[in-house]
Copies of this chain bind each other. A is one copy, B any other.
Amino acid sequence: MIRHPAFTVDPWAVREHSLNLDVLAQTESVFALSNGHIGLRGNLDEGEPYGQPGTYLNSVYELRPLPYAEAGYGYPESGQTVVNVTNGKLIRLLVDDEPFDVRYGTLHEHERVLDLRAGTLTRRAHWSSPTGGEVRVTSTRLVSFTHRAVAAIQYEVEAVGRPRGVVVQSELVANETMEYAGDDPRAAAVLESPLVLEENVSTKDGMAIMIHSTRASHLRVAAAMRHEIDGPEGTRVVTEGFGDVGRVTIATRLKPGQKLRMVKFFSYGWSAKRSRPAMHDQVVAALAAAQLVGWEGLRADQREYLDEFWAGADVEVEGDAEVQQAVRFGLFHVLQSAARLEDRPIPGKGLTGSGYDGHAFWDTEIFVLPVLTYTHPRAAAAALSWRKSILPMAEDRAVQLGLRGAAFPWRTINGEECSGYWPAGTAAFHVNADIADAVTRYVDATEDTRFECEIGLPLLVATARLWCALGHYDADGRYRIDGVTGPDEYSAVADNNVYTNLMAQQNLREAAEAVTRHLDRAEGLEVTLEEAATWRNAATAMFVPYDERLGVHPQSEGFTEHAVWDFAATKPDQYPLMLHFAYFDLYRRQVVKQADLVLAMHLRGDAFTPEQKARDFAYYEALTVRDSSLSACTQAVLAAEVGQLDLAYAYLGEAALIDLDDLEKNTVDGVHMASLAGTWIALVAGFGGMRAGRGQMSFSPRLPSGLTRLAFGMRYHGRLLRVGVTPRAATYRLLEGSPLTLTHYGEEFTIVEKPVTRRIPKASVPTLRIRQPPGREITPRRPNR
């Protein structure tokens, strides 16, 4: 567990008071810094000990063959794995000839602070070597939001007690030894020495540049570093480079209280096309730009960028300090994953670890982009722009699968499918409707017509065409989508998955409407009004199965006829189930890994009556084991909607603390970006009751008994709103932009300059008893005030 007596709960920081090597790997993920382009795990400056060394550049991957015991048509032949690129954050230290290594000597103090407003990771260590060499080390690290290619570290050593001989080695190191390997299929495949050296240059004035390319994927990666050094007279600096190492060595002698201070600027670039000289110049230029601004300039820019973000995006939670911290922590990581994407994907773990091989999934569109759309919309646009950039590959894949339109990959880095198990990959076509949903939401929220025409329309058209190829009309004129996999990974390849059908229905409708709005653009995509009419017809006829006997929607057709999983016979250590039971066993029973029908009720709430929502929610609660991190936030939203506020609050906690408390025991591989985003969703869509779409934004806020106040910002139609919720009332405030009409519990009102306060109606008491599967009951949340 990361949450440890040494930690404090701080509203604007994650603070570790002492070093606990047992959770070192997890803290590397939690303390990771990124701007969406560069990602640095929170490894100790001196490199060792480590849980998993990690330096990532978005979309730098290596190819590896995907093996199959029995091959099949259309199986992807190669996989992509995120590469640990050149480590530029390495700063080794020798004190009186003893290497600074926290495993030896005495660590008097050790503190690390991730400052969510400053956008920095600061570390303070007070250490004595085994032979008594005592120093204080302070480092502050940032990955710049404003300079996309740049990271920097301010590093300070102070002699304590007596004069000390101090040597600092600041390095660039490629092909670091990776140790992590496990049987868990979710853990990343480990690649050995993926980088082939092309250039290793060091200059007399203390710059080092290394250029490598990946062995099979042929991507060129350049890294450079330069230092500003402030030490006592006589400080000597040597720069050298050989093999996979570039090194600046700074040797000095410090009197007690005297400091060696250094700023390390390092920059990265990668390209599949640009030449070695071009890449060389690119990283050198990035360094020059960074040095021009200087360390203090980078810090100031960083804070300014974040100030602007928090001004719009901050969520205040009163009554639960842990959740207060967690939602900001989550927003910070979501921002980090996306700030400087520029046509690249947001992986499931961001750039915080190599989990899931660094792949991006549908959770970006369904969990991460809603948050960005309402808080930092240009990042959402950038992520969808990446989808547009891989549209040609998705079209090729559709052809390969005998379909039309686009079949976006289930998991990928470069745009090509690399799922090695088709029932849970290829067949999960809902990813296409999820992309369309994100497009629709973004366009609705931003009214960004240029985006709609250039990015949105092609995506909507291609995905609508896919649904036309996937579905068919039955004898009753119902439009069926057979043999696909919905969000729940404990079912696969079923007919008429309600989530899929409803999301496809929306996709088809929105595509038809977008075509009508932009007929000229649609012509360029060879869409006719006739084709758009076929989409509308399919949407209208879309089959949504319903079990009349039980009065609930089956997750997919026939689902409610299956035997219910034998929860009573399942032992606590048999969760997550997929590690202890065969897919065969899971797929044929009523057991749900993650919100599926419940997610449909969130995203397509219009397709359910309040009574259906209450009954469906109760039914699926009893079947959902939450073996996926993509569940709790959605359960929180629906629990809140059906009036189960304390339950919603418990789920909020589960979503919020997934990484700070390492709830799934795999934070080591990177943080769970969708769950962190889900904290915001649980608060805003759950307790704020926010729903938006088709030009309307509505709220039905209601707090659980644990919370005394909730406030959040929303960007919508160019406005910035701030919504404050107390147990009795909600106040809507317009911070930026012109008057806007909103809805509070179904009643429209318009905010102009003056805040509008509305009472929260008395809650009706839920009548259905809710229970989770035996053995998977959720613990009620006791707020930590």
Contact = CB atoms under 8 A, between A and B. Distances in A.
Contacts of A73: 578-583
A427 B425 CA distance: 19
B72 A79 contact: no
A423 interface: yes
Nearest to A71: B185
B72 A588 contact: no
Contacts of A425: 70
A69 interface: yes
Chain A residues touching B, range:
35 or more
Given A69-B420, A420-B70, A421-B72, A482 B563 contact: yes
> Interface on chain A toward B: helix, strand, loop, or mixed SS?
loop
Contacts of A579: 73
Contact of A419 (B70, B76, B400, B426): B70
A565 to B, nearest CB: 10
A561 interface: yes
A426 B584 contact: yes
Interface stretch (A13-21, A95-103, A222-230, A472-480): A472-480
Nearest to A183: B71
A567 to B, nearest CB: 13
Interface in A56-74: 66-74
A649 to B, nearest CB: 34
Nearest to A422: B584
A401 B474 contact: no
Contacts of A451: none
Contacts of A183: 71
Given A401-B582, A422-B583, A581-B402, A563 B68 contact: no
Nearest to A473: B563
A728 interface: no
B495 A585 contact: no
Contacts of A483: 562, 584, 587-589
A549 interface: yes
Q: How many copies does the complex hold?
A: 2
Contacts of A400: 582
Interface string A581-617: 1111101110000000000000000000000000000
A113 interface: no
A424 B419 CA distance: 19
Contacts of A585: 401-402
A557 interface: yes
Contacts of A484: 588
A549 B587 CA distance: 29
A68 B71 contact: no
Given A68-B69, A70-B185, A580-B73, A493 B401 contact: no
Interface string A18-33: 0000000000000000
A783 interface: no
Contacts of A72: 185, 421, 578, 582-583
A755 interface: no
Contact of A495 (B71, B558, B578): B558
A584 B427 contact: yes
A398 to B, nearest CB: 11
Given A420-B69, A493-B493, A588-B482, A474 B580 contact: no
A453 B558 CA distance: 41
A493 B422 contact: no
Nearest to A185: B71
A128 B69 CA distance: 48
A576 to B, nearest CB: 10
Contacts of A493: 423, 492-493, 584, 587-588
A68 B421 CA distance: 9
A582 B67 contact: no
A71 B185 CA distance: 6
A694 to B, nearest CB: 32
Nearest to A481: B588
A422 to B, nearest CB: 6
Contacts of A69: 66-68, 75-76, 79, 419-421
A54 B364 CA distance: 54
5 contacts: A69-B76, A70-B420, A72-B582, A422-B584, A495-B588
The 4 residue pairs across chains A and B that have the minimum distance between CB atoms: A69-B420, A483-B588, A67-B67, A74-B582
Given A427-B584, A482-B558, A484-B588, 6 more contacts: A69-B420, A71-B183, A400-B582, A401-B584, A493-B587, A495-B562
